[in-house]
Structure 1
Amino acid sequence: MDKEVIIEKINDFLIDEFEVEGENISPEANLKETLELDSLDFVDLVVAVESNFGVKLIGEDFINVVTLQNFYDLIENKIKSL
C-alpha cells in the first residue's frame, strides 16, 4: 500500500469517525491540539487503524507521535513491517 492511499484512508476515517473538520487536516496538524483528539479518541484510533490497515498499535507506538505526519509515518512503517 503506497503512502498516498494510507494518507487518504487516515484522513477519511478522521473525518467520518472522529468528526474532524477537513480544513484542520494537514501533515503539520497536532493530533491533540489542532484535531482535538483526547485519550479516548486514541483508543478508538487504534481500533480504526486495526480495522482499516490490519496492524496493531500499542501505547508505546504513540510516544513520538505529535503531528498527523508522525501518525502517517507510524502507520506506513507498521504496514511495511508486516
Structure 2
Amino acid sequence: MNKDEILEKINAILVDEFEVDSDVITPEANLKDTLGLDSLDYVDLVVTIEANLGVKLTEPDFVGIATFQDFYNMIVCKIESKN
C-alpha cells in the first residue's frame, strides 16, 4: 500500500466511524475539533485504526498530533516501520 492509498483508507475510516463529511477532512484541519473527539472517541479511533490498518497505537503516539497531516504522518511511519 502506498502513501496515497493509506491516506485514502484513513479518510474513509474516519468518515465512516465519526460520521463526518469528507470535505472537512483536510491535512491542515484540527483532528480533535473536526472529528469532535473526546477521550472515549480516541479509544474508538485507536481500535478502528488498529483493526483496519494493523498498526498498534499508544497514548504517547498522540503527543504532538494536532492536524490530520500529523496523524497521517504518524500512521504512515508506523506502517512503513512494520515493513
Partner of 2:48: 48
3-state SS of paired residue (1:16) = helix
1:41 positional shift: 1.1
Distance 2:26 2:64 in 1: 18
- Please state if 1:80 is matched with 2:72: no
Flag the structure with higher helix content: 2
Mark the runs of 5 or more structure 2 residues left unpaired by the alignment: none
- Please state if 1:58 is matched with 2:58: yes
Distance 2:80 2:47 in 1: 19
1:35 positional shift: 2.5
Give a deviation string over 1:20-66, Cα, whole Å, max 9, x none.
Answer: 22221100110112232222111111111111111100000000111
Q: Which runs of 4 or more aligned residues in structure 1 lie more than 2 Å from their structure 2 counterparts after TM superposition?
A: none
Partner of 1:19: 19
Mark the runs of 5 or more structure 1 residues left unpaired by the alignment: none
Partner of 1:5: 5
TM-score (normalised: structure 2): 0.92
**Amino-acid identity (%):** 59
Cα RMSD of the aligned pairs, angstroms, is 1.0
Count of aligned pairs between the two proteins: 82
Letter aligned with residue 74 of structure 2: L
Residues 18, 35 of structure 2: 8 Å contact kept: no
